[in-house]
Each structure stands twice: as structure tokens, then as C-alpha cells.
Amino acid sequence: MAEARSETLVPASAWGGGASPFAMNSKKLGMWLFIISDALTFSALLVAYTYLRLATPNWPTPFHFSPSILFASLMTFVLLSSSLTMVMGVHAMNHGHRRRAVGWILATMAGGAAFVILHATEWRHLIVDEGVTPFSNPWNEPLFGATFFALTGLHMTHVIVGVLYLGVIAIGVGRGKFKPEDVEVSGLYWHFVDLVWMFIFPLVYLMSVHI
């Protein structure tokens, strides 16, 4: 057929090759793709949690305002704020303020570290004081602890990896090696970690409703 060959030689759209259709570098696209995949992993875990919770008649709701909810709210605050500092870091980097960017990234790392410490304290409280472990707890619904530790544990792993990742970025930026886009890509990851918590926090802590 004629139309297949009579196409113009110059690509008609961004999809015609020789250009990035999203007008972004491949690294950023790669990070977005990773985020999609990782989001699905977390979704699968959250759906598994929902599935098991729905099938369990007496799901325990032991999170009281103090200390658990208070702690978790504080953690949410820390994480959200670290997202703000991160976006400020990206912003500074985009405007060519390298030193300021390093400062913001360090602040973000501090936020991440604070989150991990708070979370670890809460885990300790649950394990030592309340006797919740992945396989048993005082309310005799072992899945409660299992889902809690699996979900928050995987998230905490992501936070720890994120802090290390940001450390590498901070050093690179400080030495003048990395470009603004590298900071932005690391920012994408960090915000994603924040985003996941926005779903884990209400589903695991706040849904203390009897089903």
C-alpha cells in the first residue's frame, strides 16, 4: 500500500525516533518505570493485607493515640517534611545553587534517619512491651504482626536505601560531579517512599475500625 511509503521523511511526532518523546533524559524515565514496578509490589502487599484482614473475623485494633498513633503521626510529619526539603534541594540545584542543594539533601537525609529511628523505637516498643512478633501477639491473631512487620519493614528498607542513595548523591553534588537531573532522579525515589507511607499509615494504623 502506498501510504506506508509516502510518509514524510521527517518524523511527524515525538514518537518518530531521534528524540525523547517525554523530553526527559532516560535516567528519569528509568526511575519512573522503577517506581511503577515498586508501587505494584507495595500494592500487592497491601492487597494481600486487605485480603487477609477481610477474611479474619477479629482483627485486633491495638493502636491507641499514645504512643503508637502519636509516633506514627510524628513519623508522617518527618517524612513529609523531608519530602519538602528534598524538593527544595532539587529546586536549588536547578537554579545552580550547588552548596545550598547539598544542605537540603543533608536535611532530607536527617529526616529519613529520624524516621528510621522513630520507627525502630516503635518496633522495639511493640516487640518488647506489647509482645507483638511476626508470628504471635497477645490478641491471638498472628497475622496482625506478620502484616504489620512485613509492610512497615519493607517500607523501612526503602527509607534506609533512600538515605544511603541520597548520601551518594550529596557527596557527588558536593564534589561537583552530579548534574541537576541526578538530584531530581534521586528526589523521585525519595518522594515515592513518602508516597507509599501515605497509604501504609492510614491502612495499618488508622483503620482501627472493626470490620
Binding residues among 69-98 for another protein as defined by CB under 8 A: 69, 73, 76-77, 80-81, 83-84, 86-88, 90-91, 94-95
Asked if 207 interacts with another protein (CB under 8 A), we say: yes
Q: Smallest distance from the beta carbon of 179 to another protein, in angstroms?
A: 10
The residue type found at 11 is P
CB of 200 to another protein, least distance (A): 10
Least distance from another protein to the Cβ atom of residue 107, Å = 13
Question: Per-residue x/- marks for another protein, 140-159, CB under 8 A?
Answer: xxxx-xxx--x---x-----
**Considering just the CA atoms, what is the radius of gyration of the chain in Å?**
22
The Cα–Cα gap between 95 and 152 comes to 36
Rounded to 10 degrees, what is the CA torsion of 151, 153, 159, 162? Answer: -100
Question: Is residue 123 a contact residue for another protein (CB under 8 A)?
Answer: no
To the nearest whole angstrom, how small is the minimum distance from the Cβ of residue 97 to another protein?
Answer: 11
Q: Cβ 160 to another protein, closest distance in Å?
A: 16
How many C-beta atoms lie closer than 10 Å to residue 95's C-beta? 11
Measured from the CB of residue 126, what is the shortest distance to another protein in angstroms? 15
For another protein (CB under 8 A), the number of binding residues is: 95
Kindly give the residue spans of alpha helices, DSSP state H, lying in the chain. Answer: 2-5, 26-54, 70-94, 98-124, 142-174, 180-200
| Other beta carbons less than 10 A from residue 106's beta carbon | 16
- Identity of the residue, 33 or 171, whose beta carbon is nearer to another protein in the bound complex: 33
Q: Which three cell numbers stand for residue 46?
A: 497491601
Contacts of 166 (CB under 8 A, 6+ apart): 86, 105, 108, 109, 112, 186, 190
Cell of 163: 538515605
Segment 21-80, which members bind another protein (CB under 8 A)? 21-27, 29-30, 32-34, 36-45, 47-48, 50-52, 54-57, 65, 69, 73, 76-77, 80
Q: Which three cell numbers stand for residue 47?
A: 492487597
117 touching another protein, by CB under 8 A: no
159-198 residues in contact with another protein (CB under 8 A) are 184, 187-188, 191-192, 194-195, 198
